[in-house]
Amino acid sequence: MPEVLETSQDSAAAALEVRQLEVVFATDASPLKAADKVSFAVPAGRTLGLVGESGCGKSVTALAILGLVPPPGLITGGQILFNGDDLPSLPERRMEDIRGARISMIFQEPMTALNPVFSIGSQVAEALRIHRRTSRPEAWKAAVEMLARVGIADAAARAGDYPHQLSGGMRQRAMIAMALICRPEVLIADEPTTALDVTTQAQILDLMMAMQRDLGLAILFISHDLGVISEIADEVAVMYAGAIVEQAPAGELFERPLHPYTRGLIETLPGAGPRLPRLAAIAGQVPDLGALPRGCRFSDRCPLADDECGASEPTLAAAGERRRVACWKAAP
Amino acid sequence: MSDTPILEVRDLCKRFPVRGKGPFAGKSWLAAVNAVSFRLDKGETLALVGESGCGKTTLARAAAMLQPPTSGSVRFEGSEITGLGNRSLKPLRRRVQMIFQDPYGSLNPRLPVGAIIAEPLLVHGLGDKAERRQKAVRLAEQVGLKAGDMSRYPHQFSGGQRQRIAIARAIALQPCLVIADEPVSALDVSIQSQILNLLRDLRDSRRLTYLFISHDLAVVRHFADRVAVMYLGRIVETAAAETLFDAPRHPYTRALIAAQPVIGRGKRTAAGCLSGDPPSPLDPPSGCPFHPRCPLAAALCRESRPELEGDSGHQVACHFKNEGGT
Amino acid sequence: MTGFLFQRLIQSAVVLAVMSFVIYWLMGLMPGDPIDLMISADPKITSEDAARLRALYGLDKPITERYLNWLGAAVGGDFGFSRLYAKPVPEALLPALANTVRLLGITLCLSLLIGLPAGMAAAIRPYSKTDYTINLLAFAGISLPAFWLALLLIIVFSVFLGVLPAGGVAALGGDGFWDQAKYLVLPVANLTIASVGGHTRYMRAAMIEALRQDYIRTARAKGAGPARVVLGHALRNALIPVVTIVSLDFGFLFSGALITETVFAYPGMGKLIFDAIMGNDYNLALVALLFVTLLILIGNLLADLAYAWLDPRISYR
């Protein structure tokens, strides 16, 4: 497998590596590129934060990893390397063995993401029974243990509860139990705390970090919330209109953003500093994938844009030791 | 503070009937808002913050007489408005407007934007058709829409643009009080600040008073003059925004602020994180409603409920409000 | 749950009582009464005789009083006498009821056994060839008028092929299984073709909706294969709306049965009610209509119970 041998030293320990991924949605008008040459690696025991606004392609990227892009979306290029395999080229049956067992996913809205007609215990146990030869009572016992482990008090009794009987935080804990009961290597979390209150969000973030320590999980954490990303991610990739525009270790990214979009996002947030009469703002609207500007995809909203930016698109290039940025104007 | 406040709410309660178990069980009551008092002066922005289900939206709706309160008094520009019929409330409806979290849900999908913005004028019989159209264009331009947008429909706009439409409609009748219920929560980060700036500009240019509901403390800290923190239907702390964020005194306020993710603080360390969920308002705890989750709770807290006390600048409902602590 | 059942039983009793009055009153509004029929049959009856007979049968009293008299007797177990069949009402009614229950029961089972899997198959790949084929057949079934289809079936299977009887039922105490069954084949086929299309369409719509939900994505993300996703996760959710519609359909099936029973000369409830009303047989028509009401009430109750079993969010306290 030559692909595995030629990986860079950074991704040598990567549990999951995405290379030049392209996902296209065939529409009546023109095909929309929801993910355009997306590349990143998530090492075991670390968290990569994927941050961006609605429609930037972060969720599509996550679903592509599991082979769950909804039609009419298709993976049209690139590789997703996991354990020596290129996932998009695996047959569906082998993907089923990987989903939920070795790569798991949790979602934004645990109320709708859990099946309303089954108890949470049986939904957690099902994840185990799909992948391991387990008897029903054994799987139930393991599910109760897992529910207790993710902090559900009186798990033996709560396991019989249905999703609507639990609070939002408890439901998300049940989702996490379901995702982790088979001890996967990779966890993909798509806005897992967005629907929750702040105090519950803090509890769930703490739980995810604790589970990561215990299981050595590689986490791909997707969020629109820079604050959450800053508190949980080791490394951050910023997506805009289908492409990663900047990637850096979390500390460096927030301290010294290189891409004007990243800088704009950070500056627009009402922060902890002195109260200003007005907030900084990024002009214009989040772009429509069908109508991207020529050249750099951020050029129509960028304060630094000039003719060069409108003429050709910058590629994601190294900017310092562990940083990459796609901008003609980024100071090196 | 000699001026009459725009809005003065005293001991407002809002209860909802809940059907009990069993076919013959009687009704029980859910106290969504419990004996809440506050005042809102002209040009001021008061933020109601708290977690979902704390009663902040119900309080705002009851104060605006959209859902009449169960008991208590609401004075609008000095005159009592509780107990008034719909006809007597019509002038009030004109002067109090609302902006909601999901602008799409509140915009009629079959009307063009121009008609949506002009509709309040039509309802209140202001101006003739040409005047109304002219006014709608002026309003649209004020909120950053183009005159050419007037004939387009809501679904042709992005979330941020739709919120601008909703704001234009809200200010069409020149209200003095605007109730903004999570106006930026559904918007993208880069659009949030545009809308917050717009709301602030309108406040300055039109001397608007805002009752601003949000769960996002960073937004509240930026936008509000005063903040009231709600928990289980009651205000547990209220103070000027800067005081509240710099020196919070209620343990719940402190926990909320600590739980708020902050950029560039580095990876989180699990400390001071509030455990459990808020209790059900159907079965509130004895004594202080916060005691089951409170790090400072003592026997006293289980037995008696602390009143909201303090000078008019900073009021706290906690038995241990004078003890610093973490 | 017992509380709920108790409540529903009381409700059903009230509905039956109200219905009995409404039906009694409507039939009182119909022109003519049994005595008129007697007069037309026997020209020797004078108007004095008629008045005497009316007084004897209590037909000269106000309708409310007549209704209360009937109700009192009915509660005591006396449902009166069917003039048309010259038997007590229950004896006239029960064979017809048995025939109809057999016809509708078999039809409903068949229709669901064909319709639900077909709807599911169509929903799994919407807008595929399978889906188009199933939809086409379903619409054909919905669109064919029941009486026309019944005539067509009779012409093909009874007249041309001569393999099945055109109508009626087996003689009483009749012979082997096939002797009984062959009289059912055409009516059942007719009613099934009329109702299976609807059931297929309902199931398809409910299944497509269920397969679109977030929890389906969750199930796939935990490695569930297609069979488990469809049968394990989507089916139970899809059945919740289908149960409602099927139970509401129960009444529709009954009215469809009236046409089918008439065309095939099948002695079921539909035909019985039709004959009873045309023959001014008050007692029989009244009790037969109440039985139909009762069957529909039972259908709704079963649907409510099925809900509670399917959907844990619904709890009858």
| pLDDT surpasses 80 at C177 | no
Q: Which residues of A touch C312 (CB under 8 A)?
A: 116-117, 119, 162, 164
C7 and B22 within 8 Å at the Cβ level: the answer is: no
* Chains with ≥3 CB–CB distances under 8 Å to C: A, B
> Which residues of B touch chain C, with CB atoms under 8 Å apart?
21-23
Q: Which residue of B has its CA nearest to A202?
A: B259
Q: What is the per-residue pLDDT for C98? A: 87
Cα gap A76→B268, rounded to integer Å: 38
CA-wise closest residue to C148 among C252, C259, C239:
C259
In a domain, B206, yes or no: yes
CA-wise closest residue to C7 among B26, B25, B28, B24:
B24
Question: What number of other Cβ atoms are within 10 A of residue C265's Cβ?
Answer: 14
Q: Which residue has the higher pLDDT, B308 or C58?
A: B308
In a domain, B222, yes or no: yes
Q: Which residue of C has its CA nearest to B22?
A: C317
Placement of tokens 């949030």 in the chain: B192
A226 and B267 within 8 Å at the Cβ level: the answer is: no
What's the domain range around B289?
Answer: 7-18+28-261+268-316
Cα gap B123→A289, rounded to integer Å: 39
What single letter denotes the amino acid at residue A212? Q
A238: part of which helix (H) or strand (E)?
strand A235-240
CA-wise closest residue to A280 among A291, A267, A293:
A267
Q: Name the DSSP letter for residue A87.
A: G
Query: Which range (A44-58, B57-71, B248-262, C70-84) has the least confidence?
Result: C70-84
Instruction: Classify burial at B201, counting beta carbons within 10 Å of its beta carbon; exposed 0-12, middle 13-18, buried 19 or more.
Output: middle
In a domain, B323, yes or no: no
Task: Tell me how far apart the 2 most distant CA atoms of chain A are, in Å.
Answer: 67
A271 and B52 within 8 Å at the Cβ level: the answer is: no
B261 and A203 within 8 Å at the Cβ level: the answer is: no
User: Which DSSP string do the residues of C35-99 spell out, in sequence order?
Assistant: HHHHHHH-TT--HHHHHHHHHHHTTTS-HHHHHHHHHHHHHTT---EETTTTEEHHHHHHHHHHH
Contacts of C131 (CB under 8 A, 6+ apart): C122, C123, C125, C204
Residue B44 near residue B36, CB atoms below 8 Å: no
Contacts of C311 (CB under 8 A, 6+ apart): A116, A117, C240
A268 and B190 within 8 Å at the Cβ level: the answer is: yes
The stretch C80-102 carries a mean pLDDT of: 86
The torsion angles phi and psi of A86, rounded to 5 degrees, stand at -95, 105
Cα gap A241→A53, rounded to integer Å: 9
CB pairs under 8 A between A and B: 134
CA-wise closest residue to C274 among C265, C262, C264:
C262
Q: Which residues of B touch C7 (CB under 8 A)?
A: 23
Question: Token pair of B308, please?
Answer: 């909201």
| pLDDT tens per residue, range B32-49 | 999 999 999 999 999 999
Q: Which residue has the higher pLDDT, C121 or A332?
A: C121
CATH of the domain at B68: 3.40.50.300
Q: What is the per-residue pLDDT for C12? A: 87
Q: What is the per-residue pLDDT for A298? A: 93
C6 and B23 within 8 Å at the Cβ level: the answer is: yes
The stretch C199-211 carries a mean pLDDT of: 95
Cα gap A304→B259, rounded to integer Å: 36
In a domain, B139, yes or no: yes
What's the length of chain C?
A: 317
In a domain, B1, yes or no: no
The torsion angles phi and psi of A220, rounded to 5 degrees, stand at -105, 110
Per-window interface: C 6-65 vs B, CB < 8 A: 6-7
Q: For residue A4, how far is the Cα from the chain centroid?
A: 23
Cα gap A286→A276, rounded to integer Å: 24
The stretch B10-23 carries a mean pLDDT of: 79
- For chain B, percent of residues with pLDDT exceeding 70: 95
Q: What is the per-residue pLDDT for A6? A: 37
Q: Which pLDDT band, with edges at 50, 70 and 90, does C222 fall under?
A: very high
Nearest CB to A281; choose among B193, B222, B261: B193
Cα gap C160→C170, rounded to integer Å: 21
| pLDDT surpasses 70 at C283 | yes
Alpha carbon distance, N-terminus to C-terminus of chain A: 35
CA-wise closest residue to A146 among A114, A117, A113, A173:
A173
Q: How far is B319 from chain A (nearest CA, A)?
A: 22
Q: Which residue has the higher pLDDT, A119 or C257?
A: A119
Q: Inform me whether the C-beta atom of residue C4 falls under 8 Å from chain B C-beta atoms.
A: yes
Q: Inform me whether the C-beta atom of residue C125 falls under 8 Å from chain A C-beta atoms.
A: no
Q: What is the per-residue pLDDT for A9? A: 42
Question: Token pair of B302, please?
Answer: 């289980």
Nearest CB to B197; choose among A169, A250, A281: A281
Residue B136 near residue B150, CB atoms below 8 Å: yes
Q: What is the per-residue pLDDT for B148? A: 84
Q: What is the per-residue pLDDT for B324? A: 57
Q: What is the per-residue pLDDT for A2? A: 37
Q: What is the per-residue pLDDT for B106? A: 84
Entry pTM: 0.87
- Residue A136 has, within 13 A of its CA and on its CB side, a CA count of 1
Q: Which residues of A touch B185 (CB under 8 A)?
A: none
| pLDDT tens per residue, range B170-186 | 999 999 999 999 999 88
In a domain, B326, yes or no: no
- Residue C246 has, within 13 A of its CA and on its CB side, a CA count of 29
Q: Which residue of B has its CA nearest to C8?
A: B23
A104 and C221 within 8 Å at the Cβ level: the answer is: yes
Q: With both helix axes pointing from N to C terminus, report the angle between B129-142 and B113-123 in degrees, rounded to the nearest 10.
A: 120
What single letter denotes the amino acid at residue A66? L
Q: Which pLDDT band, with edges at 50, 70 and 90, does B271 fall under?
A: low
Q: How far lies B287's CA from each of A253, B292, B307, in Å?
A: 47, 10, 11
The torsion angles phi and psi of C288, rounded to 5 degrees, stand at -65, -45
Per-window interface: C 174-213 vs A, CB < 8 A: 213
| pLDDT tens per residue, range C155-168 | 999 889 888 888 77
Residue C89 near residue C284, CB atoms below 8 Å: yes
Q: Which residue of B has its CA nearest to A167?
A: B277
Q: Which residues of B touch A282 (CB under 8 A)?
A: 190, 193-194
Q: How far is A140 from chain C (nearest CA, A)?
A: 16
Q: How far is A174 from chain B (nearest CA, A)?
A: 15
What's the length of chain B?
A: 326
Three-state secondary structure along chain B?
CCCCCCEEEEEEEEEEEEECCCCCCCEEEEEEEEEEEEEECCCCEEEEECCCCCCHHHHHHHHCCCCCCCEEEEEECCEECCCCCHHHHHHHHHHEEEECCCHHHHCCCCCCHHHHHHHHHHHCCCCCHHHHHHHHHHHHHHCCCCHHHHHCCHHHCCHHHHHHHHHHHHHCCCCCEEEEECCCCCCCHHHHHHHHHHHHHHHHHHCCEEEEEECCHHHHHHHCCEEEEEECCEEEEEEEHHHHHHCCCCHHHHHHHHHCCCCCCCCCCCCCCCCCCCCCCCCCCCCCCCHHHCCCCCHHHHHCCCCCECCCCEEECCCCCCCCCC
Q: Which of A196-210, A265-279, C253-267, C302-316 has the highest mean pLDDT?
A: A196-210
Q: What is the per-residue pLDDT for C173? A: 58
Instruction: Classify burial at B316, counting beta carbons within 10 Å of its beta carbon; exposed 0-12, middle 13-18, buried 19 or more.
Output: buried
CA-wise closest residue to B259 among C229, A167, A196, A161:
A196
* Residue-wise burial string across B221-231, b where 16 or more C-beta atoms lie within 10 A, e elsewhere: bbbbbbbbbbb
Cα gap C188→C180, rounded to integer Å: 13
| pLDDT surpasses 90 at B71 | yes
How many domains is chain B built from?
1
Q: Which pLDDT band, with edges at 50, 70 and 90, does C299 fall under?
A: confident
Query: Which range (A37-51, B197-211, C45-59) has the least confidence?
Result: C45-59
ipTM: 0.88
Cα gap A112→C216, rounded to integer Å: 10
Q: What is the per-residue pLDDT for B326? A: 42
Check whether the bond before A72 is cis (ω within 30° of 0).
yes
* Residue-wise burial string across A23-51, b where 16 or more C-beta atoms lie within 10 A, e elsewhere: bbbeeeeeebbbbbbbbbbbbebbbbbbb
Placement of tokens 């649907």 in the chain: C303
Residue C174 near residue C180, CB atoms below 8 Å: yes
Question: Token pair of A287, please?
Answer: 């772009």
Residue A244 near residue A51, CB atoms below 8 Å: no
Going from the first residue of chain A to its last (332 residues), give the mean pLDDT of each consecutive group of 10, the final group possibly shorter.
Answer: 39 82 88 92 95 91 95 92 94 94 92 94 96 94 95 93 92 95 96 90 93 95 94 95 95 93 90 74 83 90 89 89 90 60
In a domain, B324, yes or no: no
The stretch B231-244 carries a mean pLDDT of: 94
The torsion angles phi and psi of C34, rounded to 5 degrees, stand at -55, -35
The stretch C205-227 carries a mean pLDDT of: 94
Interstrand relation of A47-51 and A235-240 (parallel, antiparallel or unpaired)? parallel
Cα gap B277→A200, rounded to integer Å: 7
Q: What is the per-residue pLDDT for C171? A: 60
Q: Name the DSSP letter for residue A132.
A: S
Question: What number of other Cβ atoms are within 10 A of residue C158's Cβ?
Answer: 16
User: Which DSSP string do the residues of C127-189 spell out, in sequence order?
Assistant: TSHHHHHHHHHHHHHHHS-HHHHHHHHIIIIIIIS--S-SS--PPTT-SSHHHHHHHHHHHHH
Q: What is the per-residue pLDDT for B1? A: 45
| pLDDT tens per residue, range B285-304 | 999 999 999 988 889 999 99
* Chains with ≥3 CB–CB distances under 8 Å to A: B, C
Question: Token pair of C274, please?
Answer: 């039709």
A162 and C312 within 8 Å at the Cβ level: the answer is: yes
